[in-house]
Homo-oligomer: A and B are copies of this chain.
Amino acid sequence: MQFSHDLSLKELAGKILTEPSLHMRFLLEDKTRCQQLFYQGGGISLDLSRQHLWEDVINLLLKKANQAGVQEKFAAMMAGKRVNKSENRAALHSAARNPDIPLLVNNQNIARILGDIHEKAFEFSNKVHEKKICGSKGEPFSDVLLLGIGGSRLGTQAVYEALSSRHKNLLPLHFLSTVDPNAFIAQTRKLNPDTTLVLVVSKSFTTREVVDINLSQIRNWLENAGLRASEHIVHITGKGSPGDRISESFCLEVFNIFDFIGGRYSVTSAVGSLPLSLAFGPDVVKKLLAGCREMDIHAARSPADQNLPLLAALCDIWNGDYLGFPAFAMIPYSAPLRYFPAHMQQLYMESLGKSLTITGETLPHDKLAMFCFGDTGTDAQHSFFQMLHQGRALAMDLIGVLQPPPECRQSAEGHKAHEELWTHLLAQADAFALGRSEGRPEQLCSGNRPVSIITLKNLMAEDIGRLLAFLEARTVYAGFLKNLNPFDQFGVENGKLMATELRRNFSKSSFSSTGTTGFYLKALKDGYLTFPNQNGTQDPPM
């Protein structure tokens, strides 16, 4: 290749997107390069051949990773060191899937504690499945309603949908997150309170939406049906939280979670292990954890140049910080993975959406982490892909699944559909890389868009675990590479402070407010009908 070690990444980046001889259509002709950029590990594959990468670039990036000591930091994280500096905490999501590897923190074996909670969740689930635990009228539970928001809901929902295609669903899960009464009405309309088990997920047990509003409505819903609410409700909450320090009269059982696992990393804690073992049985959850474990070990122990999450994170840094792409899109070519883009969006944007480094420097605007959004292929092709081909460019992750669903083995048509799905994935990867240089002006595409292809073997619980842990490790590595703390989220506090202030205004007859806020408070008070017009007088009803 044209550039070598003595050029810095910044110099290289300046040339890559403008130098015609470095267009991806030439890079893709080099079979050796393509082979080198196809990685396997932790049970998945990662194809970086359609990235603006070749051996020299990779080596420069790896050197940077080495200088930043990211593998040492990753090992420190898994060993229980307080890598979450601003909150002076460890970050131990990986310990939740490694119960047999002792992990001593403050003389406590954290791995064992987490493992025991999983065992308790499995036992509880078995009793529900065996109808030993029933609703207060004695009817077996038919549905599980999870109250939780953000990290207490999104990861579990993504995994639940993903597992539903290959594993038998024993109890359907339903999710209630937002405080919108429309959501409460829609969810309770389709459920029978007599046979509904409610899981309340909140680490602090002070999350306003979940505890003050939705749980309170759900308790009434159960009691209005003549049920003892306490026999239908389970708390998944922090050790010592208001939901933990309660008497038996309030709930059926409490499962603890801990401040050393953040919400967005918590699917493999009790946050996910209880609902998912209720949905699919303990064995499926054990396989999910085993898949995570396989990837955790790969992420921690593989050499940097063969380490898939680290290489993916380096790609993110390369595309975002150097090549200037403001966003990346995650496109699973797999309907059961449809909530993974939203899960990744939270994981990535909440972990890396900061401008202050761990050592207190402010990142310049062009070094801020990328946005992340996405949707399933082939749907996205018929929606926002137009812009990605001809308008503002971004980086992309396409996710493929090698095995078709088992039902396709007996169906030539199903098989054809699976091949068609892969055809689209590969065709888009090429279309983004190669572009189109023949045709009328409005048909041309400049190509040269960076695409990674992540391939899972199947959609079994192990595969989903591998993907989940891969995305977590990649995010953590990207945080370490950017010298950010990927475990805190102080930016969301401001909205909560503002809400506390506003909430007081609802009960006042007059109030001071910012900008147009008073208009809304007045309209809401006056019966939801009128806004002041531009002369400050009342308009007729809108």
Contacts and interface: CB of A to CB of B under 8 A. Distances in A.
A418 interface: yes
A509 interface: no
Given A383-B346, A386-B492, A433-B515, A335 B183 contact: yes
A151 interface: yes
A404 interface: yes
A436 to B, nearest CB: 4
Given A345-B384, A413-B216, A86 B402 contact: no
Interface in A488-520: 488-499, 501-503, 506, 514-517, 519-520
A442 B459 CA distance: 39
Given A327-B371, A387-B369, A217 B379 contact: no
Interface string A452-476: 0101010100000000000000000
A236 to B, nearest CB: 16
Contacts of A38: 516, 519, 531-532, 534
A407 interface: yes
Contacts of A217: 413-414, 417
A94 interface: no
Interface in A43-93: 43-45, 47, 49-50, 86
A217 B408 CA distance: 12
A381 interface: yes
Interface stretch (A108-116, A242-250, A295-303, A422-430): A422-430
A40 B542 contact: yes
A280 to B, nearest CB: 16
A141 B527 CA distance: 41
B392 A326 contact: yes
Nearest to A495: B431
A372, A377, A489, A516 interface centre (most CB from chain B within 10 Å) = A516
A390 interface: yes
Task: State the oligomeric state as a number of copies.
Answer: 2
A403 interface: yes
Interface size class of A (residues with CB under 8 A): 35 or more
A334 interface: yes
A40 to B, nearest CB: 6
A407, A419, A457, A485 interface centre (most CB from chain B within 10 Å) = A419
Contacts of A178: 335, 376-379, 421
Interface stretch (A4-12, A125-133, A265-273, A350-358): A350-358
B181 A524 contact: no
A209 interface: yes
Given A489-B386, A498-B430, A520 B213 contact: no
A333 interface: yes
Given A186-B335, A356-B442, A524-B402, A385 B427 contact: no
A137 interface: no
Contacts of A459: 182
Given A326-B326, A516-B47, A536-B35, A392 B378 contact: no
Contacts of A36: 534
A390 B490 contact: yes
A350 B385 CA distance: 7
Contact of A386 (B350, B378, B435, B519): B350
A389 interface: yes
A353 B542 CA distance: 34
A150 interface: yes
A391 interface: yes
A168 interface: no
Contact of A391 (B352, B440, B524): B352
A435 B388 CA distance: 32
Contacts of A407: 181, 185
Given A180-B335, A368-B391, A528-B402, A45 B542 contact: yes
Given A209-B378, A443-B494, 10 more contacts: A36-B534, A150-B379, A150-B383, A165-B182, A182-B405, A208-B420, A213-B420, A263-B382, A433-B514, A455-B520
- Pick the 10 closest A-B CB pairs, nearest first: A353-B387, A150-B382, A353-B391, A389-B491, A390-B491, A427-B499, A373-B373, A427-B498, A346-B383, A349-B384
17 contacts: A37-B516, A38-B519, A40-B539, A40-B542, A178-B335, A178-B378, A181-B415, A327-B371, A349-B388, A353-B390, A354-B442, A365-B392, A373-B373, A386-B492, A427-B495, A427-B502, A440-B490
